[in-house]
Amino acid sequence: MRTGWPMAPSGACVGVLGGSFDPAHEGHAHITREALKRFGLDRVWWLVSPGNPLKATQPAPLQKRLAQARSVMRHPQVEVSDLEARLGTRYTAETLEALRKRYVGVRFVWLMGADNLASFHHWDRWKSILATVPVGVLARPDAEIAALTSPAARCFAGARLRGPDIRSLGRSNAPAWAYVTIPLAPHSSTAIRAAGAW
């Protein structure tokens, strides 16, 4: 593996948290630590994206966002990466396909906030994502009802893990997804930008 690429041995369970991280903040770090505990993951990779195809305005420069993310997320099981830029992928479905080809034997779990599950049916090849990679969903303020009644949640209702089974998400075969309620952190990238603090 070339320098700058995250390392993971075959059989490892790696949670993948993608986003613009514009900017990264303690809320991102909080849900990452919870994901490690709740879903039985060996490590988590943050994929700081070059840009978000669903957003009209693009984020701050990638290197600035990477530096901020690395200053916020300091944990021995977490790596902050520009993998999407390295892979040349734009959409989550193609990123996950590229990761599975490059990291043979690694078990990937896509991580996202409840607000993303609420709009997941707008993502490119969203059914394919849920059919091929386990998905861990973490609570976000005021998003639970919209998330759990979303088209994606209804379409894959039979694949939802509950109770003690949630801990085995990282070792589950897709389709499998889990929703966890966690202590909520009030941080918001949007609010930080609006306050002129970024």
Using the structure block, give the residue that is written with the tokens 């948290």. 17
More reliable by pLDDT, 188 or 141: 141
**Is residue 6 in a domain?**
no
16 three-state secondary structure: strand
Q: What is the pLDDT of residue 194?
A: 60
**Is residue 117 in a domain?**
no
**Is residue 26 in a domain?**
yes
**Is residue 49 in a domain?**
yes
Listed in sequence order, the residues at least 6 apart from 153 whose beta carbon sits closer than 8 Å to its beta carbon are 117, 147, 160, 179
Would you place residue 142 in the very low, low, confident or very high pLDDT band (cuts 50, 70, 90)?
confident
Q: What is the pLDDT of residue 191?
A: 58
Burial class (CB in 10 A: 0-12, 13-18, 19+), 148: middle
| Mean pLDDT within 170-182 | 95
Look up the CATH number of the domain holding residue 20: 3.40.50.620
DSSP string, 177-190: EEEE--PPP---HH
Q: Which amino acid is at 74?
A: R
Q: Return d(Cα 198, Cα 189) in angstroms, integer.
A: 9
What's the total number of domains in the chain? Answer: 1
Q: What is the pLDDT of residue 104?
A: 95
Q: What is the pLDDT of residue 143?
A: 87
| Mean pLDDT within 25-43 | 94
Question: Which residues constitute the domain of residue 187?
Answer: 13-110+122-194
**Is residue 18 in a domain?**
yes
70 three-state secondary structure: helix
Q: What is the pLDDT of residue 53?
A: 64
Phi-psi region of 96 (alpha: psi -120 to 50; beta: other; left: phi over 0): alpha
pLDDT single digits (tens) 58-116: 789 999 999 999 999 999 999 999 999 999 998 999 999 999 999 999 999 999 999 99
**Is residue 103 in a domain?**
yes
Q: What is the pLDDT of residue 85?
A: 92
**Is residue 8 in a domain?**
no
Q: Return d(Cα 135, Cα 169) in angstroms, integer.
A: 8
